[in-house]
Amino acid sequence: MIRDPFIVFCVGVIEMAIQIYSQKNNRWREFYNPLRALTLPKLVSLLEAGERGQYADLQWMYYYMERSDPMIFSILQRRRAALLDSDWDIRATAQAPADGALLGDPVVGGDDQNGTGQDAVLAQEQVAFLREVYDGIENFRDALGFLFTGIFRGFAHLEKHFGDQDEIFRLEPVEQWFWVRDGMFGEWEYNENAVSGRVRGIPITRENFVIFESVALNRMLAMLYLRRIISQKDWDSYLEVFGIPSVFLIGPPGAGTDKEKEYQAIADDLVNNGRGYLPNGSDLKFVTGGGGKPPFRDHLDYIDRQITMVGTGGLLTMLTESGSGTLAGNAHRDTFLQIARGDAVTLSELFQREIDAPMLAQAFPGWPALAYFEFAPSSTDEASRVVQDVAQLAAAGFGVDPAELSEKSGYRLVPRPPPVAPGVPVQGAVPPVPG
Contact (CB, 8 A) for 199 and 150: no
For the CA atoms of 159, 164, 165, 171, the dihedral, rounded to the nearest 10 degrees, stands at -20
Q: What pLDDT digit, counting tens, does each position of 129-174 carry?
A: 999 999 999 999 999 999 999 999 999 999 999 998 889 999 999 9
In a domain, 93, yes or no: no
What pLDDT shows up at residue 159?
95
In a domain, 395, yes or no: yes
Q: What pLDDT digit, counting tens, does each position of 356-385 carry?
A: 999 999 999 999 999 999 986 555 456 666
Compute the distance between CA of residue 189 and CA of residue 202 in angstroms, rounded to an integer.
Answer: 5
Across 180-206, average pLDDT: 91
For 27, 60, 64, 78, 174, the CA distances from 30, given in Å and listed in that order, are 6, 10, 11, 27, 16
- The enclosing H or E element of 161 equals strand 155-162
For the CA atoms of 273, 275, 276, 280, the dihedral, rounded to the nearest 10 degrees, stands at 140
- Chain center to CA of 56: 20
In a domain, 235, yes or no: no
**What's the pLDDT band for 285 if we cut at 50, 70, 90?**
confident
* pLDDT value at 42 more than 70: yes
What pLDDT shows up at residue 13?
41
- What mean pLDDT, rounded, does the chain reach? 77
In a domain, 237, yes or no: no
In a domain, 281, yes or no: yes
* pLDDT value at 429 more than 70: no
Overall domain count for the chain: 2
Where b means 16+ CB within 10 Å and e means fewer, 94-122 reads: bbbbeeeeebbeebeeeeeeeebbbbeeb
In a domain, 392, yes or no: yes
Helix ranges restricted to H, 52-108: 56-66, 70-84
**What's the pLDDT band for 97 if we cut at 50, 70, 90?**
very low
Q: What pLDDT digit, counting tens, does each position of 403-424 carry?
A: 666 666 666 666 666 666 666 5
In a domain, 264, yes or no: yes
* pLDDT > 70 fraction of the chain, expressed in percent and rounded: 66
* pLDDT value at 354 more than 70: yes
Residue 33 amino acid letter: N
Domain's final residue, options 265, 287, 309:
287
In a domain, 261, yes or no: yes
* pLDDT value at 430 more than 70: no
* pLDDT value at 432 more than 80: no
Q: Which domain holds residue 388?
A: 383-414
Torsions phi, psi for 168 (to 5 deg)? -85, 115
Instruction: Establish how many alpha carbons lie within 13 A of residue 277's alpha carbon, considering only the half-sphere containing its beta carbon.
Output: 3
